[in-house]
Amino acid sequence: MKPRELIDALLKFGAEAPVDHQQWEEYRRDPEEVQVSCRLGYEKTNLYLYFQVKEPEIRAVNTSPHDPVYQDSCVECFVSVAGSDEYLNCEFNPLGACLAGIGTGRQGRTPLPAEEIQSLCLYASYRDGEQSSEHWDLLAVLPLGRWGAAGNKQSLAGMVLKGNLYSCGDKLKESRYISWNPILLDAPDFHQSRWFGEFRFASE
């Protein structure tokens, strides 16, 4: 399918995940001004994510693989590798630039090959000519089977994986740290797999 067809399918059939949990008062933003949601779906072992973001300031500076996109307006998906303590982190800015790696914690992560992650963003509104002063959206595909996150399965159907969805922006004028599943810590830290929620994939 073409990106627009995938987006339409996710809006119609995908599971909706609001990224709206603001744990830290210092970084709390008006929910009327900052709104983030994600639609999820799958095909075989490919996980599709369609993020929609509304925010008063959009920062899109980083352009290359493994640039610090978390400094920009950013959306992220972390997902555990089946049968392992490792998890994947895939982070995107409005231009579709991606930082991605695998490991058991914040330190010592192994970056995914640059040529591999360049294909993960299927559509990014700021890259693909649809810019707005307060809205952006992004469609990504995460080939979980390629990275072992689906174990030895040929499909995500019926599986339950651990993970979380985030939105951040370290260098925004008003930085934010928002999650789908709560992170019950005193300070922002997305690299906390113990606070992952469950991604449940319907049986076919």
Q: Look at residue 98 in the predicted model and tell me its pLDDT.
A: 98
Closest CA to 53 of 69, 37, 65: 37
Instruction: Quote the CA–CA distance of 53 and 119 in Å, as a whole number.
Output: 21
| pTM, to two decimals | 0.96
What average pLDDT is seen over the chain? 95
Domains of the chain and any CATH numbers: 3-195 (2.60.40.1190)
Confidence of residue 7 (pLDDT cuts 50, 70, 90): very high
Cβ atoms of residues 108 and 85 within 8 Å: no
Tokens describing residue 172: 């925004």
Q: What is the mean pLDDT of residues 170-193?
A: 96
Q: What is the pLDDT of residues 14-29, one digit of tens each?
A: 999 999 999 999 999 9
Lookup result for tokens 């610090």: 68
Instruction: Quote the CA–CA distance of 89 and 98 in Å, as a whole number.
Output: 10
Q: What is the mean pLDDT of residues 57-78?
A: 98
